[in-house]
Chain A
């Protein structure tokens, strides 16, 4: 099961590789993207997620 596999691989994570995640666009690099939870801008920071970026286009990792 996946649980067994995970315990073998251990805890921890790393940023996405982004290899071939931007279609034919190159170079394709992982970036932090803020996810705005509402329209109202607050003084607080937004949650962030990883996306793959090429030029000014973002792709799912």
Chain B
């Protein structure tokens, strides 16, 4: 037995502690198989363990992404030399043990992306050397301990994506060392303190998606070290203070609050802005033309407010702009042709305003444009044929306007288009056969126009199509049998046209077809039978007096004689 005793003695104290920690993980057998109590196994060589070169005590534990579950053993507090503890991206539950406060030299704790519950232990405040505390993405509850302000070396505090409640402790703001404060996606309440600008070393301030109310403190301009200020999706109200113009931030996210009043013109002087998001508030008045001065800004979101007036042509000076969303406001006037200068513009959303006039032809100079939405305005004139030059376009929505004229002949050149919606306009003429070249098209909506002529047989080439809505037009002729090639077609709306002939039996090959409406046409003959058609009700066929079959209300001729 002497040999056994020798072995036990040979395993260091820290080694024995590690075995206790292993034991409290419920499934560590595989991941930590080399954590083994026999003497010839030096804990310093175990997976994820780092030791001090001289004292051989454990200084680091890195057990990320090992699918560990169970709990963190209170024994962790016995690792007196532990400086680095990284258990992120496991499934560890239970509470953060109070004993963690006994690891007096801990500098770094990352327990993010686990299933930890309960409060953040106050004992963490004993860790005077702690520089990084990341508890993001757990199920922690209770308040943020105000005693965290007693950590003189804390640089990174990331408690995002938990269920923390209560106010942000004001004492936390009295740190010249803190650089990163991540509190998004919790249930924090209270107001923003004017003390927040005492964080003279902070660059990242993120309280997005909480229940914070009240106003932005008037001295916000003193937060000159901030690079990112994210106050989005809270209950903040009042006006955006003038002093915001003194910030040096690259990202200003104020969306999803209840801010009122005008957009302060001074924001146009904040050229360090990369992202400006004021969307989904209650902002009124004009878009300040001075915003055109933001020549380094890539993303400008002003949608979902009560903005009036015209779109300032000066926005055409924002040459680095890739996202411009002005939709869901009350903007009037014409779309300024100066927007054609935005050569890096990727997304332009002007939907649901009161814009009128024509789409400027030189919008086709926005070579990078991928998404163009002008739905729900009073735009008129014809659809500019120049749009065909936008060969990066994947989404084009011109619906609910006053557009007239025909669909340009060579729209089929916009080969990457996945959505084309020109519904609820006054479009006339026939559908150009080139539309059938749009092989990536998922959604094609031409509903409620004055389109005449036949459905192009080339539509049989729309091999990705999911929704085809040609209803409420003046389409003539037969339903092309080529539509039977559309294997991905889910919804086919042809109602309220002047289509004639039989429903082609080839449509029974459209195996994905779930919704069909051919009502109110001049179709005749027997509705095809088969599993696809058995799911459609008589409503799909109503208003075609010569259509018969089991799915309709009319029995076909030879049967009615019986």
> Which residues of A are at the interface with B, using a C-beta cutoff of 8 A?
2-3, 6, 10-16, 32, 35, 37-40, 45, 47-50
Cβ B299 vs Cβ A45 within 8 A: yes
Query: B3-11, B116-124, B221-229, B518-526: which lies at the A interface?
Result: B221-229
Cβ distance A10 to chain B, nearest Cβ, rounded Å? 8
Partner of A13, one of B160, B222, B243, B270: B270
Chain A residues positioned under 8 Å from B160 (CB to CB):
37-38
Q: A6-B221, A47-B230 are in contact. Are A32 and B271 (CB under 8 A)?
A: no
**Chain B residues touching A, range:** 35 or more
B247 within 8 A of A: yes
The segment from B272-280, B423-431, B432-440, B497-505 that touches chain A is: B272-280
B296, A47: Cβ atoms under 8 Å? no
- 15 A-B contacts (beta carbon < 8 Å): A6-B224, A11-B270, A12-B245, A13-B249, A15-B271, A15-B296, A32-B274, A38-B160, A45-B299, A45-B323, A47-B251, A47-B253, A49-B203, A49-B251, A50-B250
Instruction: List the A side residues contacting B259 at CB < 8 Å.
Output: none
**Contact present for B204 and A35 (CB under 8 Å):** yes
Which A residues lie within 8 Å of B275 (CB)? Answer: 45, 47-48
Tell me if B343 counts as interface (CB < 8 A to partner A).
no
CB distance from A40 to the nearest CB of B (A): 8
Q: In the complex, A48→B251 CA distance in Å?
A: 6
A2-B224, A12-B245, A45-B323 known; 15 new pairs, CB 8 Å cut-off, are A10-B269, A11-B242, A12-B270, A14-B271, A15-B296, A38-B136, A38-B161, A45-B299, A47-B204, A47-B228, A47-B275, A48-B228, A48-B274, A49-B204, A49-B274
B182, CB-defined interface residue at 8 Å: yes
A15 contacts across to B, CB distance below 8 A: 271-272, 296
Q: How far is the CB of B344 from chain A (nearest CB, A)?
A: 12
A13 with B253: CB separation less than 8 A: no
Across the interface, A3 reaches (CB within 8 A) one of B184, B222, B227, namely B222
Q: Bound complex: CA of A52 vs CA of B495, how far in Å?
A: 59
Binary A-proximity of B220-248 (CB < 8 A = 1, otherwise 0) = 01101001101000000000001101111
Interface SS majority for chain A: loop
B17 is an interface residue with CB less than 8 A from chain A:
no
Contact with A along B198-219 (1 / 0, CB 8 A): 0000011010100000000000
Report the tally of A-B residue pairs with Cβ distances under 8 A.
82
Chain B contacts for A16, CB-based, 8 A: 272
Expressed in whole angstroms, the Cα–Cα distance for A54 and B136 within the complex equals: 32
With A38-B136, A39-B113: A14-B272 Cβ-Cβ less than 8 Å: yes
- CB contact under 8 A between A39 and B247, given known A11-B269, A13-B272, A50-B274: no
- How far apart are the CA atoms of A13 and B269 in the complex, in Å? 6
- Tell yes or no: B137 within 8 A of A by CB: yes
Closest to A40 in B: B137
B137 touches A39 (CB 8 A): yes
Is B89 at the interface (CB under 8 A from chain A)? yes
B298 at the interface (CB under 8 A from A): yes
**Chain A residue nearest in CB terms to B203:** A49
Which residues of chain B are near A2, meaning CB under 8 Å?
A: 224
Q: Contacts A11-B246, A12-B245, A15-B296 given: A47-B271 contact, CB under 8 Å?
A: no
**Docked pose: A30 CA to B21 CA in angstroms:** 46
Residue numbers in B under 8 Å from A40 (CB-CB): 137
Contact residue among B112, B247, B248, B250 (Cβ-Cβ distance under 8 Å from A32) = B250
- Cβ contacts under 8 Å, B177 to chain A: none
Q: Are A12 and B266 in contact (CB under 8 A)?
A: yes
Contact A11 B206 (CB under 8 A): no
B272 to chain A, nearest CB (A): 4
- In the bound assembly, the distance between CA atoms of A12 and B136 in angstroms comes to 34
Interchain CB contact under 8 A, A13 and B137? no
Query: Which residues of chain B come closer than 8 Å to A49, judged between CB atoms?
Result: 203-204, 227-228, 250-251, 274
- Within B102-122, the residues touching A (CB, 8 Å) are 112-113
Q: Does A50 lie within 8 Å of B221, measured CB to CB?
A: no
User: Closest 6 A-B residue pairs measured CB to CB?
Assistant: A12-B269, A11-B245, A13-B272, A47-B251, A48-B274, A47-B228
A14 to B203, CA, bound (A): 16
| Chain B residues positioned under 8 Å from A37 (CB to CB) | 160, 182, 184, 206, 208
Q: Are A48 and B203 in contact (CB under 8 A)?
A: no
With a CB–CB cut-off of 8 A, which chain B residues contact A14? 271-272
- Give the residue among B203, B242, B296 with the most A Cβ atoms within 10 A: B296
Task: Report the Cα distance A1→B277, complex, angstroms.
Answer: 32
Contact call A48/B253, Cβ cutoff below 8 A: no
Distance in angstroms from A36 CB to nearest chain B CB is 11
CB pair A11–B230 under 8 Å, yes or no, is no
The answer, among A10, A13, A35, A39, for a CB contact under 8 Å with B271, is A13
* CA gap between A32 and B224 in the complex, in Å: 19
List the A side residues contacting B269 at CB < 8 Å.
10-13
CB nearest to B182 among chain A residues: A37
